[in-house]
Structure 1
Amino acid sequence: MSRLTREQQESYKSEGYLIGMPAIFNEKEVEQLRAGYKRTLDMLNEDETPSDIIGWHQTSRWQYDICSHPQILDYVEDLLGPDFYLWGSEFITKSPRSGKVVPWHQDSYYWPLSPHHSVTVWLAFTDVDEGNGAMKVIPGSHKGGLVQHKIADEASILSFQLEDGTFREDSAVTLSIPAGGISLHDDAIIHGSPANPSDRWRIGYVIRYSSTDVKCDLEKNPKFKAYLMRGEDRYRHNPQGDIPTDDFARPEFSKRIRKRS
């Protein structure tokens, strides 16, 4: 198992993101990930899309096991500390020649969590690069606090986006990730992604973790469940989730409880 070096931890603290770690899954394991993804797609209703696969780690042991992979948890622990929980997951896909974009935004603007101390793991099921619409971040933007958002444009898959002129887009960095690899980013970093003009799929699995002192406003998200991944939950702020027993099962709760990122 690898751990983040002191330099990597300091870079994350300064820049708000991290890439370049060794791949979590090898080529054979990536094939298994894609097979599991296909099986998950088969459970969608006719009016649903892959972007509606949100929070299924609560009912699918296959997804829960990905979220609790020891190497992923080691990296998250190096950033959040010894006590943290899993609370969110979703697939973010862009089909070949898709015109949909993810506008510039901050995750923490959408989430009813306090304080802001969360890490997102972006796991690539396919190679992700500038050619097929990889995510871009504004380094260091997580240190500026929350920025005002506005109603998003029609081409967006988000409800809100950042106001023009609130950041410098020319400083953006593209997060290229090989299949089986991950990136890590802070909940307040400004990020987004362009359309996918290529003939390739862009498939990512996004996992959200927070330190145990982070409390969810259950009036805004009554379906919120915390799954302790490491350490001890001394705060007991949030309802605890039960580890799923079925390898593949969809939840009963509404598919529209989150924002897309």
Structure 2
Amino acid sequence: MGDTTVRGAYSMSPEELKSFHTQGYFGPFKVYEIDEMRQNWRRERMRLMDRGNAVYRDDAASSGNTNISNYDRHLDSAFLADHISRPQIVDRVVSVLGPDVLCWRTEFFPKYPGDEGTDWHQADTFANASGQPQIVWPEAEEFGGTITVWTAFTEANEDTGCLQFIPGTHETMFYDETKRMHYDPSKINQEDKDGVRRGFFGYDYRDLQIDPAWKPDESKAVSMVMRPGEAILFWSTLMHASLPHNGRTEEMRLGFASRYVPTKVDVYPDTDEIEEYGGRVSLDRYGAVLVAGQNGNPRNRIATATTTGHAFTTR
């Protein structure tokens, strides 16, 4: 996978690609200067409080009681629309996925002082919460998943709840996404799992384990410490989690994840809504964004501009 004939200023070298394919992740790498990112976030956090132009305006999303409220703000924010197409990101994604690439989803991941960490998990079709596949690769492909680029908008370290990876776990799925998890918001911030306070936004990700007795080998876990403006690129099938925010600082940890697939992948097939995390929203205003190359897949709905008319950039 990948097309080394398509080169950009930030394309991955053969050595970097080899490491990525072995480890399942690449980075951290710089997308913004530290002060630049801090200034951007001070400005944008106030603008994003206005959900008037957001694509998901149903009560379930706009109430803030469900993780869906953090989805796809690049579809109404000019700053985030430009972010998903930055060459520092797209050049590296193209190195892995090939020349024709969609950004199909973005998500904010805030972690406030005292918040629990996130369970170890993997995602292939992203059916983990709803039971409905959200991305489907062609049948000829042996494996699926998405490339996630997780950008630190604030400090991300072991005190504030940074990401953790178990390198090399991206080619074997330890979870069955066809199983259903039971949503129970009372589970949030309640349970210590193997000595670490972790959860999954009201679910217990262990419900999806293929072998109920299996446990991730946390002795191999690597913490992804990032400064504001740095990013990490990884397969969604890589075993990943996050630490809890221990409250030693009052600063929240904020990550912004942009998710990419080749255009041949079907996005939200055979569905007109997202139902998960105790909420439900319509996809009637949704569109994937072509960030590189050409789209030869007529089954995917495509957005060419934000809801406020800001055009997306295709590289």
TM-score (norm 2): 0.70
Structure 1 residues 229-260: Cα deviation after superposition (integer angstroms, max 9, x where no partner): 11112233311113116389xxxxxxxxxxxx
What does residue 101 of structure 1 align with?
A: 117
Give yes or no for the alignment of 1:145 onto 2:161: no
Name the SS of the counterpart of 1:203 in structure 2: strand
Output the CA distance in 2 between the equivalents of 1:50 and 1:41. Answer: 16
The Cα shift of 1:121 comes to 0.5
Structure 1 gap ranges (5+): 249-261
Q: Does structure 1 conserve the Cα–Cα contact (< 8 Å) formed by 2:125 and 2:145? A: no
Deviates more, 1:199-208 or 1:233-242: 233-242
| Distance change (3 Å), C-alpha of 1:19 and 1:128 | same
Output the CA distance in 1 between the equivalents of 2:114 and 2:175. Answer: 31
The Cα shift of 1:5 comes to 1.8
How many pairs were matched up?
246
What does residue 207 of structure 1 align with?
A: 258
Q: Does structure 2 conserve the Cα–Cα contact (< 8 Å) formed by 1:58 and 1:242? A: no
Output the CA distance in 1 between the equivalents of 2:259 and 2:47. Answer: 22
Output the CA distance in 2 between the equivalents of 1:49 and 1:201. Answer: 18
Q: Percent identity?
A: 25
- Structure with higher Rg: it is 2
Output the CA distance in 2 between the equivalents of 1:18 and 1:158. Answer: 29
Deviates more, 1:215-224 or 1:59-68: 215-224
TM-score (norm 1): 0.84
What does residue 225 of structure 2 align with?
A: 176
The Cα shift of 1:8 comes to 1.4
Give yes or no for the alignment of 1:123 onto 2:151: yes
The residue type paired with residue 15 of structure 2 is: E
What does residue 29 of structure 1 align with?
A: 36
| Distance change (3 Å), C-alpha of 1:220 and 1:179 | same
The Cα shift of 1:17 comes to 1.1
Name the SS of the counterpart of 2:294 in structure 1: coil
Structure 1 residues 108-155: Cα deviation after superposition (integer angstroms, max 9, x where no partner): 252421221521010101111112111111111111135237557813
The Cα shift of 1:2 comes to 2.6
What does residue 239 of structure 2 align with?
A: 190
Output the CA distance in 2 between the equivalents of 1:6 and 1:66. Answer: 25
The Cα shift of 1:105 comes to 1.1
Output the CA distance in 2 between the equivalents of 1:122 and 1:221. Answer: 27
Q: Does structure 1 conserve the Cα–Cα contact (< 8 Å) formed by 2:104 and 2:260? A: yes
Q: Does structure 2 conserve the Cα–Cα contact (< 8 Å) formed by 1:80 and 1:117? A: no
Output the CA distance in 2 between the equivalents of 1:183 and 1:148. Answer: 26
What does residue 136 of structure 2 align with?
A: 114
The residue type paired with residue 264 of structure 2 is: D
Name the SS of the counterpart of 2:147 in structure 1: strand
Match of 1:92 among 95, 102, 109: 109
What does residue 11 of structure 2 align with?
A: 3
| Distance change (3 Å), C-alpha of 1:180 and 1:49 | farther
The Cα shift of 1:169 comes to 2.0
Q: Does structure 2 conserve the Cα–Cα contact (< 8 Å) formed by 1:50 and 1:93? A: no
Structure 1 residues 198-249: Cα deviation after superposition (integer angstroms, max 9, x where no partner): 313111111011111111243345425221111112233311113116389x
The Cα shift of 1:158 comes to 5.0
| Distance change (3 Å), C-alpha of 1:64 and 1:159 | same
Deviates more, 1:2-11 or 1:152-161: 152-161
Q: Does structure 1 conserve the Cα–Cα contact (< 8 Å) formed by 2:102 and 2:260? A: yes
Structure 1 residues 75-106: Cα deviation after superposition (integer angstroms, max 9, x where no partner): 111111111111111110111222x2211111
What does residue 225 of structure 1 align with?
A: 287
Name the SS of the counterpart of 2:171 in structure 1: helix
Q: Which has the higher helix share?
A: 1
